[in-house]
Amino acid sequence: MKEIGGYIEFETFRSKMLYDDGIKLNCGRNAFAYLIETENIKKVCFPKMMCDSDDKVLGDYGVEVRYYSIDRELKMEDIVLEDDEWLYVVNYYGQLTDEYIKSLKKKYGRIILDNAQAYFQRPVAGIDTVYTCRKFFGVPDGAVLYTDTRLDRELPVDESFSRINFLVGRFERTASEFYCEYAANNDLFFNEPIKRMSRLTENLLRSIDYDFIENRRTENFTHYNEELASVNKLRLIVPRGAFMYPFYTENGNEARAIMKDMKIYIPTLWPNVFDKCTENDAEYDLAENILPLPCDQRYSYDEIKYVIEVIKNV
């Protein structure tokens, strides 16, 4: 018998969740781990420009890995897959069209699509696809996986109540006050086993106005592109519900430091690349000099215009 009476807990939301028909898990790296188990993956061809949490998954499961390069247009170089080798494809900044993704599937067969930076790009039928929730929404964890395979074991359900303080803290105060908690939450998933998405995270995802967020992110990306395309070294398509606007310049690190002093926080998304690659590699240049400009739902045209002006002055 459940408890009856007492104080009222966090409100239950009943709106439709985007990707409600997917497999709801606790984090993106474990969505990849789920596929390694269900598909019995032994070998994978992996991009050099990738976060080190996935490297840990590969090591934990004893997967043989071969790294491939991407070019300065954020697309993979041509490769030949070995027998039983899978291809892991990252949709950087949502710049891969469905047609391009389908062509990779046709050419290589065994592919996994990482849409961590393309949450609003719907899954392509027949392609294993990973989505990460916390890159787009104010949730402490969560991922969605699309695959035709299923684990033959029961997964525990994650719990998020102890990991939400940095989110509610930033809602009422500043990001800098809670950054350490945010970073600690990111680090936690290095050692988390595969779990089902927590009830709290799924509940929060049912409270979201997805149409508003998709449209606002698209509009903000478009504003950036209209003003910066002529000086951006990347030729970009405008994705629906964009992750961030990748402004590729020659002095990325210098500009990043100046903008930080102005309380505009621009991350370096793949710092591990600097240890893995040389300065002559495209990945090193991209990680160092792409400025991922914020274009999320918190910001209107006024904030985007301000960031554009700062960029031009820098």
Q: Which residues pair with 64 in a beta bridge?
A: 43
- In this structure, what are the phi and psi dihedrals at residue 43, rounded to the nearest 5 degrees? -140, 140
The count of domains in the chain is 2
Give domain status of residue 32, yes or no.
Answer: yes
Which of these three, 140, 171, 205, is where a domain ends? 205
Q: Are 55 and 125 members of one domain? A: yes
Q: Are 50 and 197 members of one domain? A: yes
In 194-300, alpha helices (H):
199-205, 210-228, 252-261, 273-276, 282-289
Q: Are 39 and 146 members of one domain? A: yes
Give domain status of residue 296, yes or no.
Answer: yes
Its domain, for residue 137, covers 23-159+193-205
Q: Are 148 and 223 members of one domain? A: no
The alpha carbon torsion through 177, 181, 183, 184 (nearest 10 deg) reads 160
Q: Are 246 and 142 members of one domain? A: no
The CATH number of whichever domain residue 29 belongs to comes to 3.40.640.10
Q: Are 68 and 198 members of one domain? A: yes
Q: Are 118 and 259 members of one domain? A: no
Digit-by-digit pLDDT tens for the chain (314 residues) are 788 999 999 899 999 999 999 999 999 999 999 999 999 999 999 999 998 778 889 999 999 999 999 999 999 999 999 999 999 999 999 999 999 999 999 999 999 999 999 999 999 999 999 999 999 999 999 999 999 999 999 999 999 999 999 999 999 999 889 999 999 998 888 889 999 999 999 999 999 999 999 999 999 999 999 999 999 999 999 999 999 999 999 889 899 999 999 999 999 999 999 998 999 999 999 999 999 999 999 999 999 999 999 999 88
For the residues of 24-48, what is the DSSP string, one character each?
A: EES-HHHHHHHHHHHTT--EEEEES
Tell me the pTM: 0.95
In the chain, alpha helices (H):
28-38, 52-60, 98-108, 165-172, 175-188, 199-205, 210-228, 252-261, 273-276, 282-289, 301-313
